[in-house]
Amino acid sequence: MREMIETVFEDITAYNNKSFLILLFLAAVLFLWKTEKDKRIRTALVYVVVVILAVFICPLYVWIGMKIDAEIYYRVLWSFPIGVLVCGSVVKLMIHFRSVAAKGLVLLLAVLVICINGDLVYTKTLHFRASNAYHIPPQVMDIADALKLDNYKPIAVLPAELLPFFRQYSADIFTPYGRNILEPQWGFSNALYDAMEGDAVVYNAAEVARCAREEHCIYVVLSCAKRIEGSMEEQNYFLLNFVQGYYIYMDYNYYEVLKEQNLLDADVIAIGG
């Protein structure tokens, strides 16, 4: 029980960061509780929020949430309409005053308080201008375009660093596993993933090829940052393309089958011979 209470407190503290956002939120709830007369608004912005808050700190719900996934339990906090509550309280407070000067003063103070509670995102070191409309690494787009077939959706295995972004750009290529395998707490495992990522500096071509065939992968994408022990050509693969530091290999076995079924694009046939 103590551990659960400490986790809830840590989640709230982390969510609040170095601001007084939670205090502002609670003040807005109390203000609307005291002043709001419209039953519909009270239900939506007061009663529902209080119920969610009660559920969040309920020991039974905390225990269930921690058992399911302690790492994402804090996301219940996202359900609080903090912005609506605070802004609604400010507007209601402004309506309370009759003079324009008083209304303006309340608005100015509210804006200052909100600004104090956060930082300008554009000053953060992690902010940078996007290189494309998708806000993902350009190599992901180029690799996805290189893998895509007009008449067939292939299965491709990718290096781990591409997984978090790949599905954001294209659903035309299947993968044997997704970004969920990168999260240890989810407990996913896969022999092909181990073959691809088990060694940080080298690929074992024979093991990668064997596991890729077990997962029915037509393509194998390998990073040039890692050495290949053996060769994919010896495993009956051919180099289809080299895109921004990544080798794209195609399985000759699948190539022949898809070629007979007229499912390959002309450029792939030209390279495969």
Q: Is the pLDDT of residue 211 over 90?
A: yes
What would the mean pLDDT of 41-65 be, rounded to a whole number?
85
- Residue 115's pLDDT band (boundaries 50, 70, 90)? confident
Sheet holding 219-223, edge to edge: 156-157, 219-223, 246-251, 237-243
Q: DSSP states of 128-144 as a string?
A: ---SSTT-S-HHHHHHH
Q: What is the percent of the chain with per-residue pLDDT over 70, rounded to a whole number?
A: 94
Whole-number pLDDT of residue 1: 64
- Residue 120's pLDDT band (boundaries 50, 70, 90)? confident
Segment among 6-10, 13-17, 124-128, 190-194 with least mean pLDDT:
124-128
Whole-number pLDDT of residue 128: 66
60-98 residue pLDDT tens: 888 887 777 767 777 888 888 888 999 989 999 998 888
Whole-number pLDDT of residue 52: 87
Residue (of 257, 250, 242) closest to 272 by Cα position: 250
Query: Helix (H, G, I), strand (E, B), or coil: what is residue 222?
Result: strand
Integer Cα distance of 8 and 13 in angstroms: 9
Q: What is the percent of the chain with per-residue pLDDT over 90, rounded to a whole number?
A: 47
Pairing label, strands 202-204, 246-251: unpaired
**Token output for 81:** 């309409």
Segment among 31-45, 92-106, 181-195, 208-222 with least mean pLDDT:
181-195
Helix, strand, coil shares of the chain, percent, nearest 5, are 60, 10, 30
Q: Is the pLDDT of residue 44 over 70?
A: yes
pTM, full prediction: 0.66
Segment among 91-95, 213-217, 244-248 with least mean pLDDT:
91-95
Top-confidence residue, 272 or 232 = 232
CB-based burial of residue 86 (10 Å sphere; 0-12 exposed, 13-18 middle, 19+ buried)?
buried
Whole-number pLDDT of residue 57: 80
Whole-number pLDDT of residue 237: 96
Q: Is the pLDDT of residue 149 over 70?
A: yes
- Residue 195's pLDDT band (boundaries 50, 70, 90)? very high
Top-confidence residue, 162 or 3 = 162
Helix axes 100-116, 82-96, angle to 10 degrees: 160
- For the chain, give the mean pLDDT: 88
